[in-house]
Amino acid sequence: MKRELRSNYEKGTSLWAVRRAQWRALGLTDEDMEKPKIAVVNTSSELAICFSHLDGVAKIVKEAIREAGGLPFEIRTTAPSDFIHSAGHRGNYILPMRDLITNDIECQVEGAKLDGMICLTSCDKTVPGHLMAAARLNIPTLLVIGGYQGSGVFHNHHVDIEEVFLGAGHHVAGSLSFEDLLGMSENAITSPGVCSGMGTANSMHIVCEALGMSLPGGAPVLANSKRMIDYTRKSGKRIVEMVWENLLPRAIMTPDAFANAGMAVLGVAGSINCIKHLQATAVEAGLDLDFYKMFGELTDHVPVIAAVRPIGESSIEAFEQAGGALAVMKQLESMIRKNAMTVSGKTVGENLRDYKVADEETIRPLSRPLSDKAGIVLVHGNLSPTGAVVKVGLRRDKIMKFAGKARCFTSADDAMAAIKSKTITKGDVVVLRGLGVRGGPGMGMASRVVFALDGAGLGSDVAFVTDGQLSGLVNKGLVVGEVTPEAATGGPLALVADGDPIAIDAEARTIHLDVPDAELATRRSKLKLLDQHSEEGWLAIYERSVQPLSKGAALVHPK
């Protein structure tokens, strides 16, 4: 049923006249200008393989939109890649680029009063950036999954980009030769797309589908495959229908949808980064939802039913063939909130009704999970009163408890130097602080220190605690990340001194600093907050505007 489009200005007005002049010069007809106007949000970039194929995807989407009676307008945003954009400013651009995407989309789409948007979503920060923009603008929006890259073989063993990342840590620690690291890096990636493991990108693609914001059956998918092209064409057609139906993101991204997304993350032991991204999306959607609390409650009920490398033995290809996100949700059907609406125009329950899982060994039923306990837990205690995140995976041979003495660092470089000089020893709890959303600013990546500890043979003999960000893929040993409140804002992590006893129990979900309260009070009275970096440009704006992780590190919205 046709309805009035917000993009159709009153004829004869200045807005109508100057826009018509512009668009006639672009070759558009008056008939074109009456059609639903769809933003095709493209994060194509020649800086990273994750995005290198998206111009071709955009072409397919635009053709499908035109065939469905819509008028596509391709727009570009920044395209963050952890492996490329973590070089400058201590790696602190990565998370702030998520919010830059959101604001860029708002300026272009809302400024032009377009009727809907379809987002080509690829590497991990683009997915939440697109979801947050959809939630904020609340116009018909659909996300197209950009697909995963092919991986390779080196010395007769599988190798992918995550193993190169881990291998670099081992090389720094002296346990991997430069020649082997070079060979791994030359063979790890064989096609465009995102990392092939169950890191943040593939986890967020699954989140996107579980949340109802992409068509069912699209995550994961091999980039540029026939299945991806077919899915892309269907998405282009569907966004035009959504505009006429006026199916809005806030009708889809309800608390039930967020619960479904959380269950999907737990079902695949996905990336810990999904938690803050979903919290930020809820904030943008105007929901009074504590997603951290919701996620913590879900960990008591949702087992691990699929384990893609490196968490388990399954390949991403096998996971796709088994049914991917749709199969995970089918296996979790007894828990899933089936009344949640999706961009398909059908509820989750309707999408699942006649679906059959193709491979119940790769994606297990609830009756025989790979692990009957959650692969991600939130820990609390006097060292992290508002919580921190621990990825425990399948818990096989995983250290769940650790007690040791603190070794404190305020930069990853200093921690790496201590590893190389062998001054970090068995029994230490390595504390890396000042990397939170304000302290970074922007939440610096701490995983290279974790991987170097593993390469030094200390992965099982030390614990690691940080207010920084960790790889969404895998963390060796007992690793506690995203400690809140962060040190830079006066959180307890700022009070820790070398030699302080710290006890971590991931099973009991606790983290405790064993120092008398009176001593901590004395330290607090003398505390000088970690120096804030005198940033300029976007990081300075981010530092002044960012909310804590309890709000997903979304930016403040003045009311």
Query: Which pLDDT score is estimated for 545?
Result: 93
The CA distance from 37 to 33, in Å, is: 8
Same domain, 442 and 404: yes
CATH of the domain at 236: 3.40.50.2300
Catalytic residue among 44, 471, 534, 550: 471
| pLDDT over 80 at 20, yes or no | yes
Let me know whether 195 and 185 are in one domain: no
pLDDT digits (tens, 9 = 90+) for 143-194: 999 999 999 999 999 999 888 988 888 898 889 999 999 999 999 999 999 9
Token readout for 361 is: 């060994």
Q: Report yes or no on 98 lying in a domain.
A: yes
Asked if 319 and 424 sit in the same domain, the reply is no
The answer to whether residue 81 sits within a structural domain is yes
Give mean pLDDT, residues 273-281.
Answer: 97
pLDDT at 248: 98
How confident is the model over 321-331, as pLDDT tens digits?
Answer: 999 999 999 99
- Check pLDDT > 90 for residue 1: no
101 and 247, same domain (yes or no): yes
Residue 445, pLDDT score: 83
pLDDT recorded at residue 310: 86
Residue-level pLDDT at 547: 95
- Full residue range of the structural domain in which residue 41 is found: 35-150+191-352
Of 89, 117, 84, 92, nearest to 102 by C-alpha is: 117
Residue 533 has pLDDT above 70, yes or no: no
Q: How many whole angstroms separate alpha carbon 162 and alpha carbon 93?
A: 20
Domain assignment present for residue 70? The answer is yes
- What residues have CB less than 8 Å from 276, skipping those under 6 apart? 482, 549, 552, 553
The CA-to-CA distance between both ends of the chain, in Å, stands at 35
58 and 120 share one domain: yes
Task: Give the residue among 121, 111, 112 at the shortest CA–CA distance from 141.
Answer: 121
Predicted pLDDT at 534: 63
Same domain, 166 and 146: no
**Read out DSSP for 246-294?**
T--HHHHS-HHHHHHHHHHHHHTT--THHHHHHHHHHHHTT----HHHH
Task: Report, as an integer, the average pLDDT of 45-55.
Answer: 95
pLDDT bucket at 559, cuts 50 / 70 / 90:
low
Q: Kindly state the average pLDDT of the residues 42-68.
A: 96
Give yes or no: residues 339 and 454 share one domain.
Answer: no
Look at residues 352, 385, 404 and tell me which one is the last residue of a structural domain: 352
Mean pLDDT computed over every residue of the chain: 94
The reply to whether 368 falls in a domain is no
User: For the chain, how many structural domains are there in total?
Assistant: 3
State how far Cα 332 lies from the chain centre: 22
Q: Is 471 a catalytic residue?
A: yes
This prediction has a pTM of: 0.96
Q: Please, where are the H alpha helices in 82-199?
A: 82-85, 94-105, 111-112, 126-137, 161-172, 178-187
Q: Let me know: does 144 contact 57? Beta carbons within 8 Å.
A: yes
C-alpha distance from residue 57 to each of 51, 73, 140, 175, 352 (Å): 10, 14, 20, 41, 27
- Residues 347, 228 share a domain: yes
pLDDT digits (tens, 9 = 90+) for 198-251: 999 999 999 999 999 999 999 999 999 999 999 999 999 999 999 999 999 999
| pLDDT at res. 530 | 56
Q: What is the CATH number of the domain that holds 453?
A: 3.50.30.80
Res 87: pLDDT: 85
> What is the arithmetic mean of pLDDT over 63-86?
94
Q: Does residue 555 have a pLDDT over 90? A: yes
pLDDT tens column, 428-483: 999 999 999 999 899 888 888 998 898 899 988 999 999 999 876 656 789 999 99
Residue 140 lies in a domain: yes
Asked if residue 408 and residue 274 are part of one domain, the reply reads no
The predicted structure's pLDDT at residue 90:
80
Region of poorest pLDDT, from 79-83, 99-103, 258-262: 79-83
Are residues 83 and 158 located together in one domain of the fold? no
To the nearest 10°, the Cα dihedral for 350, 352, 356, 357? 170
Whether 175 and 92 share a structural domain: no
- pLDDT tens per residue across span 111-120: 999 999 999 9
Q: Is the pLDDT of residue 543 over 80?
A: yes
Q: Is the pLDDT of residue 502 over 60?
A: yes
Closest of 296, 287, 369, 290 to residue 334, by C-alpha: 369
What are the pLDDT digits (tens) for 393-429? 888 877 899 999 999 999 999 999 999 999 999 999 9
Domain end (from 168, 190, 212)? 190
Instruction: Give residue for tokens 């809907």.
Output: 116
Grouping H, G, I as helix, E, B as strand and the rest as coil, residue 55 is: helix
Cα 507 → chain centroid = 25
**What is residue 3's predicted lDDT score, i.e. its pLDDT?**
87
Q: Tell whether 5 is covered by a domain.
A: no
Instruction: With respect to residue 92, please indicate whether it lies within any of the assigned structural domains.
Output: yes
| Section 536-540 average pLDDT | 90
Q: Which of 559, 538, 397, 549 is nearest to 486 (CA)?
A: 549
Claim to verify: residue 499 and residue 520 sit in the same structural domain: yes
What pLDDT score does 473 carry?
Answer: 61
In a domain, 501, yes or no: yes
DSSP letters of 482-530?
Answer: EEES-GGGT-GGGG--TT-EEEEETTTTEEEE-S-HHHHHHHHHH--PP
